[in-house]
């Protein structure tokens, strides 16, 4: 993998945004592999393919690339809010690559992979409708909130210019794949529970520490009136998925750090 961006693909383009798109897409085709299988390359989708930029011809995984000439922050601007929520609930999201590059030195600095099954409704923020004076007046976009994605679901491929090995990236992807087996409509609870528990930043915790997130989880899931029971259920699910171990009544520890 090389980090340098070639401008050759942008010849003939005048728009700065179009140049950035074709340059970063060309870099991805030349350098990025499939994290979900052993394929060492991805293919470009046909022009006009909605929401999907690349696919793996071996395992059929789909990917969307979002490139930016600034550091990857807490929020990533995305497309229409309603479409995003429907795609999550219907399990139709592609995996996401978030790419950051230095526009002066023309090098890739960071590449973050978010598997599609690691994004919940809670990680999607509704933006304000466009003003009546806008060309698409009333249109509502969304932001992806990266800090609402579990740490396990934020997989670094390139970190501050350091290339992470393919084996490490694929292992990280494999470790979160059990989440894929949970129904898309109920997966959000598990992802949100995993996110808040990881925020404790400790190897062991108690049921009371988990209950401390009752208000936060109630806000994320206002339709549920029995949040404590749901917390206990999710602790069991995380145990069954291999994330947690029950030490004794009311005490838990992480198996996967």
pTM, to two decimals: 0.94
Does residue 165 share a domain with residue 97? Answer: yes
For 134-168, the pLDDT digits (tens) are 888 999 999 999 999 999 999 999 999 999 999 99
Which helix (H) or strand (E) segment holds residue 102: the answer is: strand 95-102
For 98-115, the pLDDT digits (tens) are 999 999 999 999 999 999
Compute the distance between CA of residue 157 and CA of residue 153 in angstroms, rounded to an integer: 12
* Whether the predicted pLDDT of 121 surpasses 90: yes
Does residue 124 share a domain with residue 40? Answer: yes
Is the residue at 250 inside a domain?
yes
Does residue 152 share a domain with residue 69? Answer: yes
Does residue 65 share a domain with residue 38? Answer: yes
DSSP for residue 239:
H
Determine the pLDDT at residue 48.
87
Is the residue at 58 inside a domain?
yes
Does residue 146 share a domain with residue 61? Answer: yes
- Residue 236 belongs to domain with CATH number: 1.10.10.10
E-assigned strands of 4-123?
43-44, 54-55, 62-68, 75-80, 95-102, 107-114
Cα 76 to chain centroid, rounded: 10
For 170-204, the pLDDT digits (tens) are 999 999 999 999 999 899 999 999 999 999 999 99
Does residue 61 share a domain with residue 18? Answer: yes
Does residue 70 share a domain with residue 169? Answer: yes
Does residue 132 share a domain with residue 21? Answer: yes
How many independent structural domains does the chain possess?
Answer: 2
In the chain, the percentage of residues whose pLDDT exceeds 70 is: 100
Determine the pLDDT at residue 41.
97
Determine the pLDDT at residue 134.
87
Which residue range forms the structural domain that includes residue 211?
185-254
The mean pLDDT of the chain is 96
Does residue 205 share a domain with residue 143? Answer: no
Is the residue at 193 inside a domain?
yes
Is the residue at 148 inside a domain?
yes
Does residue 165 share a domain with residue 69? Answer: yes
Does residue 64 share a domain with residue 171? Answer: yes
* Whether the predicted pLDDT of 32 surpasses 80: yes
Tokens 């809670």 locate to 122
Does residue 80 share a domain with residue 112? Answer: yes
Last residue of a domain, one of 150, 178, 206: 178
- Residues 100, 132: contact at Cβ < 8 Å? no
Determine the pLDDT at residue 155.
98
- Residues 51, 43: contact at Cβ < 8 Å? no
pLDDT category at 257 given cuts 50, 70, 90 is low
């Amino acid at each position: 993998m090389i980090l340098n961006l070639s401008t050759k693909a942008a010849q003939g383009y005048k728009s700065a945004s179009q140049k950035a798109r074709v340059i970063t897409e060309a870099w991805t085709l030349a350098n990025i592999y499939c994290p979900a299988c052993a394929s060492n390359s991805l293919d470009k989708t046909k022009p006009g393919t909605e929401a999907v930029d690349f696919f793996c011809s071996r395992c059929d995984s789909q990917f969307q690339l979002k490139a930016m000439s600034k550091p990857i922050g807490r929020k990533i601007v995305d497309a229409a809010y309603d479409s995003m929520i429907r795609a999550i609930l219907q399990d139709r999201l592609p995996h996401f690559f978030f790419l950051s590059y230095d526009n002066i030195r023309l090098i890739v600095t960071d590449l973050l992979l978010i598997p599609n099954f690691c994004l919940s409704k809670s990680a999607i923020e509704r933006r304000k409708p466009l003003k009546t004076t806008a060309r698409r007046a009333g249109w509502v976009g969304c932001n992806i909130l990266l800090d609402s994605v579990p740490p396990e679901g934020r997989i670094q491929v390139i970190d501050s210019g350091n290339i992470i090995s393919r084996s490490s990236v694929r292992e990280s992807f494999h470790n979160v794949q059990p989440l894929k087996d949970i129904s898309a409509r109920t997966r959000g609870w598990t992802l949100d529970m995993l996110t808040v528990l990881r925020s404790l930043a400790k190897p062991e915790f108690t049921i009371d520490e988990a209950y401390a997130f009752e208000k936060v989880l109630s806000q994320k899931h206002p339709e549920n009136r029995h949040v404590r029971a749901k917390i206990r259920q999710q602790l069991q699910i995380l145990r069954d998925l291999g994330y947690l171990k029950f030490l004794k009544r009311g005490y838990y520890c992480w198996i996967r750090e």
